[in-house]
Amino acid sequence: MSDAYLELVNSGVTKTLAKKLGLPRPAHLRRTDPAAVDTPLIPGRALVIGEGPDTDAVARTLLGWDLDVHRNVPDGRIGAVVVVLTDLTRPEQASQRVLALGSVLRSLAPGGRVVTVSRAAGPHDEPAVAAVRTGVDGLLRSIAKELRAGATGNGIVLGDQISPDAPSAVGALRFLLSARSAFVDGQFVHVNTADGVAPADWTRPLQGRVAVVTGAARGIGAEIARVLHRDGAQVLGVDVPAAGESLASVMNQVGGIALQLDITGADAAARIIERARSRYGRIDIVVHNAGITRDKLLANMKPDHWDSVVAVNVHAQLRMNEAFLATDGLSPDGLRLVSLASTSGIAGNRGQTNYGFSKAAVIGMTRALAPRLAHGAGTANAVAPGFIETEMTARIPALTRQVARRLNSLQQGGQPVDVAETIAFLASPQAGGINGEVLRVCGQNLVGQ
Amino acid sequence: MPSTSSPRRAAVIGSNRIPFGKAGGAYANATNLDMLGAALSGLVARFQLQGERLGDVAGGAVLKHSRDFNMTREAVLGSALSPQTPAFDVQRACGTSLETVTAIANKIALGQIDSGIAAGVDSTSDAPIVVSDRLRRTLIKLSRAKTLPDRLKLVASIRPGDLAPVAPDVAEPRTGLSMGEHQALTTLKWKITREAQDEIALASHTNLAQAYEDGLFDDLITPYRGLVRDESLRSDTSAEKLAKLKPVFGKGLGEGVATMTAGNSTPLSDGAATVLLGTDEWAAERGLPVLAHVVDAEAAAVDFVRGEEGLLMGGAYAVPRLLHRNKLVLADFDFIEIHEAFASTVLTTTAAWADEKFMVSKVGLPPLGKLNPAVLNVAGSSLAAGHPFGATGARIVGTLASLLSRAKQARPDGGGVRGLISVCAAGGQAVAMILEAA
């Protein structure tokens, strides 16, 4: 799905014209080259701002990835700035580091990154501590809105006692710096525990993992299958029998298994488990991507429009999860569940009461599953896409679509691969300490958080 | 060779076909190669065969363009299978893909290969049109002519009449009669009623529709070009609707004796089907299921040219011989699949099996007895699904293997669960096969 406006403002005469008129100029985002994953990790030098052991730890991590790391403002293009704020205890202490960041923003390369590392505020914190920690929320979200040329700003929020060296803190840092997080902007990743392990090969973190992807025949689901495969996973793709032709084509591209079934069927999970067990003996990752829309104003809603959306988008997931969790030995290293939520489930959307209900329900389900899965070393997380360029959004009337695309800090719609990258990260071994999160992939959409 | 003395039996691991289309329907612009490729692609994705080097692939079509001389190998090259997978083409009219299953199963049983795919395809929409023999000879000479005057002379020799294309038909070359007219003679001889034929046709549609509802085809069919179910299937047909149709074959045989209609005769169709075969070990290594084993197969042919026997009566000979060799009787089978070229083919074949005089004098074996209609074509057959000639055998093997596996799971200690297939074919031929649940 192409964005003609984005092409126009980035080439030739129309580029100059757009500049002169001060029109919004969305940039081509830096995305992963499947032939050279994470290379380069960032488009220039790395600057680490901060003091103390946590800052040193972050700098060491970046050095471990062979980045050109600086502690003072360097000359030339800066690919990423990491601002460590974990040691701050009073709001007035933030000034120096924030202004240091401000002084280099003009040197940030296109597709550059700003990442804050801070601590979660809790109800038992001193008021001043809670103030500075929570202040980072407003700071980072505002910075993200000031960045241009495809640069993004995101934060890592560490739980109590969690070191910046924890596998998921390191994993989140790498994800947010890399091209994988192209359309993730203005978001915080909460690292709650020290669980998770760094992968042997950062470019293939899912090596040896078995992933089930529902709705894998097209759009976001097909891209999830491709990215999981690129990251090393074996993929079992599921879709309704009617979508079998494209499902077969996608599975043949990724060397996966095509399983035609309706996830609302009573035996859906049993058939998935049977196929995965006989072939691989296990399931490590389940991506609940299958979803439908039946948009109607509530005043015009027919029972079938409501019921079918709820059945596919949330009821089927609940039922399948029960079966996955009840099957002994299915996930020896812990089950990683990732569900597709939506910004419609967070901020609501006119004409989508059924969809918004189902997607908010997915968020509730994810949060409730998180502690249960944590017992078996698993996690449950959700990804909430904003405006993504798919066949589904291509059907939105042209003008509405143009407006919807520009309503975020990156001034464009995301690509299915952006959603897939985030899912692959949450399913990866290094994300074991991230649980019960709803991570938005929305280019910092103006609605909701 | 009886199965018990065979060193190993080929396993039917699974199958895939595309929904069958009506002639000029959903696949009007698809070639045999396109359809075979699509069916193969679905099979590869279902069983994760990407990059696998299989022992062999046998496929075939009845109506085939000369450019498709190496059709099956071309389909393999266009698939995600390893390009090192060999392939060959086979043609035995409507028995083509039952013959490819036999060929691959035999290679596996003999230990020559561990795995293979048997396939078949046909398009009546993209049938080859042949130019007249005179024009063809002139064109060949033209390509060899060296000088301009020679060429001009040859071009000038072409007459308007030479340009009329010669379309293929389904008439028997030796009798000039179409298959339907041949079967009309057999129908009359065996005194098969219109009602009995319509009953077979209705059951075919009802059973096929039910099988779709039961999800039987979720693991057997991959949609293609927007077609999700067989295009000929009419789940809303009824005895009344079928009874209203006018006869199309046998109209010249006398007043009121024509009984064969468009409803109880198979429509011309487009489609492709594939079956994955292998040894039990090959399947186990890949965590793949074994649905059934190929026990034995038999081909037969009859002398229809001099009217000694009906064109499509080969099954009346192939099946008794096959059962006799395997020491089995009809009652030993839980499922019997008789290809519905016409509803009356099923009825004349089963009538012959039960007819003592026919069996003793013509086949030289005791009669097989009456067929239990409850085991016949329980998931529908060609009348409802359609009949792309080369694809029918593989369709039936795929469906039957799944039915056998399901039945076996329903009664795991119930002993052998067997299925019988009989497919009649042009040229007075037939192929029969026995499958047993794994």
Q: Residue A320: helix, strand or coil by DSSP?
A: helix
Distance from CA of B343 to the nearest CA of A (A): 30
pLDDT at B5 over 60: no
Res B145: pLDDT: 85
User: Are B45 and A247 an interchain contact pair (Cβ–Cβ within 8 Å)?
Assistant: yes
CA dist list (Å): A169 to A172, A173, B251: 5, 6, 83
Q: Token pair 């009506």 is at which residue?
A: B22
Mean pLDDT over the full length of chain B: 93
Asked if A256 has any chain B CB less than 8 Å from its own CB, the reply is: yes
**DSSP for residue B132:** P
Res B56: pLDDT: 98
Res A449: pLDDT: 60
Asked if B46 has any chain A CB less than 8 Å from its own CB, the reply is: yes
Please, what is the Cα angle at B187 between B329 and B235, to 5 degrees?
80
Nearest CB to A244 within list B50, B51, B223: B223
Q: Which amino acid is at A57?
A: A
- CA-based nearest residue to A121, from A97, A155, A146: A155
Res B38: pLDDT: 98
Res B3: pLDDT: 46
User: Strand pairing of B11-17 and A438-441?
Assistant: unpaired
Asked if A257 has any chain B CB less than 8 Å from its own CB, the reply is: yes
Mean pLDDT over the full length of chain A: 94
d(CA A322, CA A320): 5
d(CA B335, CA B376): 6
Asked if A345 has any chain B CB less than 8 Å from its own CB, the reply is: no
In which band, very low, low, confident or very high, does the pLDDT at B2 lie, cut at 50, 70 and 90?
very low
Q: Residue B361: helix, strand or coil by DSSP?
A: helix
The percent of chain B in helix, strand and coil, each rounded to the nearest 5, is 40, 20, 40
Distance from CA of A251 to the nearest CA of B (A): 6
Q: Which of A182-191, A434-443, B411-420 has the lowest mean pLDDT?
A: B411-420
Asked if B280 has any chain A CB less than 8 Å from its own CB, the reply is: no
For helices A53-64 and A167-177, angle between their N-to-C axes, nearest 10 degrees: 60
Mean pLDDT of A58-78: 94
Closest residue, chain B, to A260 (C-alpha): B218
User: Strand pairing of B260-261 and B247-249?
Assistant: antiparallel
Chain A positions touching B280 (Cβ under 8 A) are none
Chain A positions touching B50 (Cβ under 8 A) are 252, 255
Asked if A270 has any chain B CB less than 8 Å from its own CB, the reply is: no
Asked if A163 has any chain B CB less than 8 Å from its own CB, the reply is: no
For residue range A22-39, list pLDDT tens digits in order. 777 888 999 999 999 999
pLDDT at B6 over 60: no
Mean pLDDT of A283-301: 95
Nearest CB to A255 within list B46, B48, B286: B48
Chain B positions touching A277 (Cβ under 8 A) are 287
Chain A positions touching B14 (Cβ under 8 A) are none
Q: Residue B221: helix, strand or coil by DSSP?
A: strand
Complex ipTM = 0.88
In which band, very low, low, confident or very high, does the pLDDT at B197 lie, cut at 50, 70 and 90?
very high
User: Are A278 and B287 an interchain contact pair (Cβ–Cβ within 8 Å)?
Assistant: yes
Nearest CB to B41 within list A252, A255, A280: A252
Asked if A274 has any chain B CB less than 8 Å from its own CB, the reply is: no
A163: tokens are 């070191």
Q: Which of A10-19, A33-42, A51-60 has the lowest mean pLDDT?
A: A10-19
DSSP letter for each residue of A332-388: TT--EEEEE--HHHHH--TTBHHHHHHHHHHHHHHHHHHHHHHTTT-EEEEEEE-SB
Q: Which amino acid is at A354?
A: N
Mean pLDDT of A321-344: 94
Res B168: pLDDT: 62
Res A220: pLDDT: 96
In which band, very low, low, confident or very high, does the pLDDT at B207 lie, cut at 50, 70 and 90?
very high
For residue range A142-181, list pLDDT tens digits in order. 999 999 999 999 999 999 899 999 999 999 999 999 999 9
Mean pLDDT of A102-109: 94
Q: Which amino acid is at A200?
A: A
Nearest CB to A279 within list B48, B221, B224: B48
Among B182, B205, B293, B387, which one carries the catalytic annotation? Answer: B387
Res B7: pLDDT: 60
For residue range A371-405, list pLDDT tens digits in order. 999 988 899 999 999 999 998 888 888 888 888 88
Asked if B180 has any chain A CB less than 8 Å from its own CB, the reply is: no
User: Are B44 and A248 an interchain contact pair (Cβ–Cβ within 8 Å)?
Assistant: yes
Mean pLDDT of A98-120: 96
Question: B424 an active-site residue?
Answer: yes
A34: tokens are 């499947």
Peptide bond before residue A110 is cis, with ω within 30 degrees of 0: no
pLDDT at B1 over 70: no
For residue range B91-138, list pLDDT tens digits in order. 999 999 999 999 999 999 999 999 999 999 999 887 777 777 888 888
Per-residue 3-state assignment (H helix, E strand, C coil) for A64-129: HCCCCEECCCCCCCEEEEEEECCCCCCHHHCHHHHHHHHHHHHHEEEEEEEEEEEECCCCCCCHHH
Please provide residue B288's backbone torsions phi and psi, each rounded to the nearest 5 degrees.
-100, 150
The residue ranges of DSSP E strands in B210-320, in sequence order, are 247-249, 260-261, 269-278, 292-301
Q: Which residue has the higher pLDDT, B30 or A21?
A: B30
B320: how many CB neighbours lie within 10 A of its CB?
Answer: 24
C-alpha dihedral, B75 to B76 to B81 to B86, nearest 10°: 170
User: Are B222 and A244 an interchain contact pair (Cβ–Cβ within 8 Å)?
Assistant: yes
Asked if B42 has any chain A CB less than 8 Å from its own CB, the reply is: yes
Res A1: pLDDT: 60
Chain B positions touching A280 (Cβ under 8 A) are 287
User: Are B223 and A258 an interchain contact pair (Cβ–Cβ within 8 Å)?
Assistant: no
- CA-based nearest residue to A373, from A425, A431, A424, A315: A431
Contacts with B, A 296-325, CB within 8 Å:
none
Res B167: pLDDT: 63
CB A446 within 8 A of CB A252: no
Chain A positions touching B46 (Cβ under 8 A) are 248, 257-259
Please, what is the Cα angle at B401 between B397 and B404, to 5 degrees?
140
d(CA B104, CA B433): 13
Please provide residue B172's backbone torsions phi and psi, each rounded to the nearest 5 degrees.
-70, 125
Q: Which of A1-10, A79-88, A142-151, A403-412 has the lowest mean pLDDT?
A: A1-10
Q: Which helix (H) or strand (E) holds A273?
A: helix A268-280
d(CA A202, CA A178): 11
Chain A positions touching B76 (Cβ under 8 A) are none
Nearest CB to A245 within list B79, B218, B224: B224
% pLDDT > 90, chain A:
84
d(CA A306, CA A294): 8
Asked if A265 has any chain B CB less than 8 Å from its own CB, the reply is: yes
pTM of the model: 0.91
**DSSP for residue A186:** S
Q: Residue A319: helix, strand or coil by DSSP?
A: helix
pLDDT at B218 over 80: yes
CB A84 within 8 A of CB A119: no
Distance from CA of A186 to the nearest CA of B (A): 39
Q: Compute the count of residue pairs across chains A and B with CB atoms less than 8 Å apart.
A: 67
CB A275 within 8 A of CB A261: no
Distance from CA of B169 to the nearest CA of A (A): 32
CA dist list (Å): A417 to A400, B70, B386: 23, 39, 41
Chain B positions touching A266 (Cβ under 8 A) are none
Mean pLDDT of B186-202: 95
Residue A367 burial by Cβ neighbours in a 10 Å radius (0-12, 13-18, 19+): middle
Please, what is the Cα angle at A310 between A309 and A315, to 5 degrees?
130
Asked if A273 has any chain B CB less than 8 Å from its own CB, the reply is: no
